[in-house]
Amino acid sequence: MKPETRKYIQVFLAVALIGAAVRLVIIFRERHETARQSKAQPAPALDPTYYVVPKKLYPYDLKSARQLTQQPVWVKEGYRYFYYPYDPVRRRTDFAQDAGLLGPIEELNIKDVVTDVTPGAREQKQVLAVFEKGGKSYAVPIGVLKGHDYQIYSDEMFFIQDPHQLYNVWPKDAWQAIDQHQAKTGMDEVQVSFALGMGMPQPSDDPDLKTVRFPNGGKPLEITFRKGRAVEIRPGS
C-alpha cells in the first residue's frame, strides 16, 4: 500500500472515530436531559373513578339471588332494562306489555326473587326481581333458568351500595347534575352514564375522541368525549 493511501485511510478512520465519539456524547446528553425533564414533571393524576370496585353478590341460584332483598339496589345502566306488571297473588308476570324502563341510578327495594315461564319458551324460565313502584308490583328479569342451570346477571344490573357513597370522590356539582339527569361538559363517561343511562358509542378514527349517543328516555343527546371528558353536548336524533 502506498504511504499516501495509508495516510489517507488513517486520517479517514480518525475523523470517523471522532465523529462517532461526538455522536455518542450528544445522544447521552439528550437522554440525560429527557430523563431530567421526566423527573421534574409530575405524573398525571390517576382518575379515582376507575379505581372504584363495587361489591357483588355472585348469585348462582334462587336462594342466593334473594340476597337482593336485604338492601336497596341501584340501577347501573338506565333505560336498558324493561320491567313488567306482576301479580303477587297469582305470582305471575304479564309479559304481554312492558311497564317501562328502569331509570339511571334508580333506587329499588327488591321484595322477592321468583321464576316465571318465558313466553314462547316453556322449557326456560325467567328469574325475576319483584319490586313495588307507585303502589303497584312489578318484575324485572335478572336471569334465566334452563333445567337446573341458573344464569343470573344481577351483578351487572345493580349496585348494592349507594353510588353516592361508592363514588364520593366526585365533586358535589357532578352529583347534582347526575341527580337531575343532566350531562355537563367536563364530566367523565361514567358520570354521564349515571346521569343519562345507556349510551351507544359511534365509530371513530381518533383514539382521543369518542362520540356516544344516549337515548335518554326519549330525549336523545349526542356527546363527544375527548380523553374521557365531555367536550360537546348536542341534541340527538
The phi-psi region of residue 221 (left if phi > 0; otherwise alpha if psi is between -120 and 50; otherwise beta) is: beta
By the 8 A CB rule, do 189 and 228 touch? yes
Q: What is the DSSP string of 159-199?
A: ESS-HHHHTTTS-HHHHHHHHTT---TT-BHHHHHHHH---
Strands 221-226 and 229-235 come out as antiparallel
What pLDDT shows up at residue 157?
Answer: 98
What pLDDT shows up at residue 123?
Answer: 85
Residues spanned by the domain of 201: 170-235
Over the stretch 24-67, which tens digit does the pLDDT of each residue have?
Answer: 555 656 666 665 655 555 555 567 787 899 999 999 999 999 99
Is residue 107 predicted with pLDDT exceeding 60?
A: yes
How far is it, in rounded angstroms, from Cα 170 to Cα 186? Answer: 12
Over the stretch 4-26, which tens digit does the pLDDT of each residue have?
Answer: 555 555 544 455 555 555 565 55
What pLDDT shows up at residue 2?
Answer: 55
**3-class DSSP state of 47:** coil
CA atoms within 13 A on the CB side of 217: 15
Candidate from 36-40, 92-96, 126-130 with smallest mean pLDDT: 36-40
Q: Is 132 exposed, middle or buried (0-12, 13-18, 19+ CB in 10 A)?
A: middle
- State the CATH number of the domain containing residue 183: 3.30.1450
Is residue 220 predicted with pLDDT exceeding 70?
A: yes
Domain count of the fold of the chain: 3
Same domain, 58 and 141: yes
Same domain, 132 and 197: no
- Asked if residue 108 belongs to a domain, the reply is yes
- Asked if residue 227 belongs to a domain, the reply is yes
What pLDDT shows up at residue 199?
Answer: 96
Mean pLDDT of 71-100: 96
- Asked if residue 181 belongs to a domain, the reply is yes
Amino acid residing at 113? V
How far is it, in rounded angstroms, from Cα 109 to Cα 100? Answer: 17
Is residue 218 predicted with pLDDT exceeding 90?
A: yes
The overall average pLDDT reported for the chain is 87
- Confidence grade of residue 122 (pLDDT, cut at 50, 70, 90): confident
Is residue 234 predicted with pLDDT exceeding 80?
A: yes
Residues 6+ apart with CB under 8 A from 187: 174, 177, 195, 229, 230
What pLDDT shows up at residue 10?
Answer: 55
Same domain, 151 and 184: no
- Asked if residue 48 belongs to a domain, the reply is no
Q: Which of 108, 132, 159 is the last residue of a domain?
A: 159
Mean pLDDT of 127-131: 98
Same domain, 130 and 189: no
- Asked if residue 104 belongs to a domain, the reply is yes
Higher-scoring residue by pLDDT: 207, 46: 207
How far is it, in rounded angstroms, from Cα 22 to Cα 26? Answer: 6
What pLDDT shows up at residue 86?
Answer: 97
Q: Which of 159, 180, 214 is the last residue of a domain?
A: 159
- Asked if residue 165 belongs to a domain, the reply is no
- Asked if residue 63 belongs to a domain, the reply is yes
- Asked if residue 164 belongs to a domain, the reply is no
